[in-house]
Amino acid sequence: MHPDIVIDPRTPWEAMDLGVLMAQRHRRLLMVSWAAISLPVFILLSLLFRDSPSIALLLFWWLKPAFERLSLDILSQALFAEPPSLGQALRRWPSTLKPQLLASLTWRRFSLSRSFSLPVTQLEKLSGQARLRRLAILRKRNLGAARWLTTLGANLEAVFWLGSMALLYLLLPQQFVADWNWQQLLEMAESNWLWLEHLTNLFYALILVFWGPIYVACGFSLYLNRRTTLEAWDIELVLRSLRQRLSALAVVLVCVFLSLSPAPETRAAPAIDSPQMPHLQQQALDSQTAHQAINAILDKPPFRNSETVTRWRLGHEPSPGERSGALGTWFDSLDGHIVVLIARTLEVLLWVTLIGLLALLAWHYRRWFETFVSRRSESRTIVGPAPEQLFGLPVSVQSLPDDIAGSAERLWQDHPREALGLLYRALLSRLLNDYRLPIRQADTENQVLAQVVGLGQPALSDFSARLTHHWQTLAYGHRLPPAQAQQDLCNGWRQLFDKGARQ
């Protein structure tokens, strides 16, 4: 046992803290060994699936249990002896893969207690029913912590991965990203961005170099803590230490005792179990009689108190002699069938109450159901007059020109913001007056789009989504839409509204 590690019973969270410290103590060996076996596998998978980076990443993630075994082997050796060198650890890695690797990569791959169960397979070398029985004992009071470790670990991997990609974006020169148009980037051929996907996959592989050994160490420390609790390792280690300290002194004490003790007498003493001894001659008790007497005693109080209950009772009920009052007398007089009838009546009342509450809830949110659930466009009606302004924009019919598309084309060259605003105001006006959508002042652009989708008209939904996207980019991002968007939006308006395309 390493002298700096104190084996004591701990809570599961304290045990995982110990695992982090163990990984920190041997971090260089653990990280270098993990990188030495995982990064070549990552490079090989990236080359084999150069046109499918997602498949390469999925296979690399699937092989994580194979990488974890080397870290567990290093930690187990470092706990009870000197840690191995990097070369020794890498030479031992193939032998650690032999026990039940196929099971670890198939039906056990999604086990949330994988790090806690791995020492049973790799260090204790148990399989089959013996492994299941061992895990059933070890997992008591520790299974929840092991599952939380895997869940939190997966979230940490995702946070580190997204953080590394965000850092890469922040490190790019401002001049390089100033003219980026995300819609154009997404519309480009996917093959042009394979290098970026492989680069982000590399970030995940590097994150595992740091986090993978910590995850294994935390699971190993949970396993050690459970064995300490079950097998009293802390007491055993103290007794071994005392034995080592007192071994030399014990030899001296034995020698002194032998030198001071008198010489033994030579007369023979009668055997203790001799049948001639007086206290054994008059015993009539044999094994069968003793067994019967013991069972008779155990069948009586206070060892056994049998009670058969054939009636209904509520919680702790006093004995008939202790009951007093009319309520106790009335309850004793009830028949079993009457009690069942009362129980069923209460059940019906509870169901009626639940159904009433659900109906009241549906009535309270009826407007929401009418807007987002119902598929009938005619049910979406505006209560009261249509608003004159939305989002600070005038949307009344009187505030708009007759030829919306033509006016927008004339404004686009010198005043593109006013042109795009005119198209968006006109769209809101049509939605309010022609389609009778219940748009409120507090609604956002995305909520308006959700109501448009509910109309069930794909052409109108597509045009509204494109126009809203360009309007938000200009209004909030101060970025002009591309020149091609001008003609597309004006032509889309004419197809929808000027030619009677509305259904």
Number of helices and strands (H, E) in the chain?
Answer: 23, 2
User: What are the structure tokens assigned to 167, written together?
Assistant: 């850092």
Confidence band of 416 (pLDDT split at 50, 70, 90): confident
pLDDT tens by residue, 242-298: 555 556 566 666 665 555 555 444 444 444 444 444 444 455 566 677 778 787 877
pLDDT at 436 over 90: no
pLDDT at 375 over 80: no
* Reported pTM: 0.48
pLDDT of residue 317: 53
Distance separating alpha carbons of residues 406 and 400, to the nearest angstrom? 12
Instruction: Provide the percentage of residues in the chain whose pLDDT is more than 70.
Output: 70
- Cα 273 to its chain centre, rounded Å, is 67
Lowest mean pLDDT among 78-87, 329-338, 373-382, 393-402: 373-382
Q: What is the pLDDT of residue 434?
A: 83
Per-residue pLDDT of 292-330, as tens digits, reads: 878 787 777 766 777 766 665 555 555 555 544 555 566
Selected residue with higher pLDDT from 186 and 159: 159
Tell which residue, 380, 386, 466, 454, has the closest CA to residue 423: 466
Measure Cα distances from 160 to 45, 230, 469 in Å.
22, 37, 31
CA distance 71 to 437: 61
Structure confidence at residue 189 (pLDDT) = 44
SS3 label, residue 396: coil
**Confidence band, pLDDT 50/70/90 cuts, at residue 42:** very high
CA distance readout (Å), 159 to 110, 162, 196, 205, 314: 20, 5, 19, 14, 53
Alpha-carbon separation of residue 331 from 58, 164, 319, 340, 344 (angstroms)? 66, 70, 13, 13, 17
Q: Percent of the chain scored above 90 by pLDDT?
A: 18
Residue 390 parent element (H or E):
strand 389-390
Would you say 214 and 23 are in contact if contact means Cβ atoms under 8 Å apart? yes
Residue 318, both tokens: 């006093």
**CB of 485 within 8 A of CB of 470?**
yes
Quote the pLDDT of residue 46: 93
> Taking residues 384-395, what's their average pLDDT?
69
Whole-angstrom distance, CA of residue 61 vs CA of residue 204? 9
Q: Cα angle vertex 31, ends 25, 35, to 5°?
A: 170
Judge whether residue 212 has pLDDT over 90: yes
How far apart CA 301 and CA 372 sit, in angstroms, is 69
**Long-range contacts at 161-170 (CB < 8 A, ≥ 24 apart):** 161/200, 161/203, 161/204, 161/207, 164/200, 164/203, 164/206, 164/207, 165/200, 165/203, 168/199, 168/203
- pLDDT, position 175: 58
| 3-state SS, residue 389 | strand
Instruction: Return the percent helix, strand and coil in the chain, to nearest 5.
Output: 70, 0, 30
Q: What's the pLDDT score for residue 252?
A: 60
d(CA 219, CA 213) in angstroms, rounded, equals: 10
pLDDT band at 182 (very low <50, low <70, confident <90, very high): low
Q: Over the chain, what is the mean pLDDT? A: 77
Q: Which residues contact 56 (CB under 8 A, 6 or more apart)?
A: 42, 45, 46, 48, 49, 198, 201
Q: Please give the pLDDT value at position 325.
A: 54
32, pLDDT greater than 70: yes
What integer pLDDT is reported at residue 144 of this predicted model?
A: 85
Q: Which residue has the higher pLDDT, 95 or 258?
A: 95
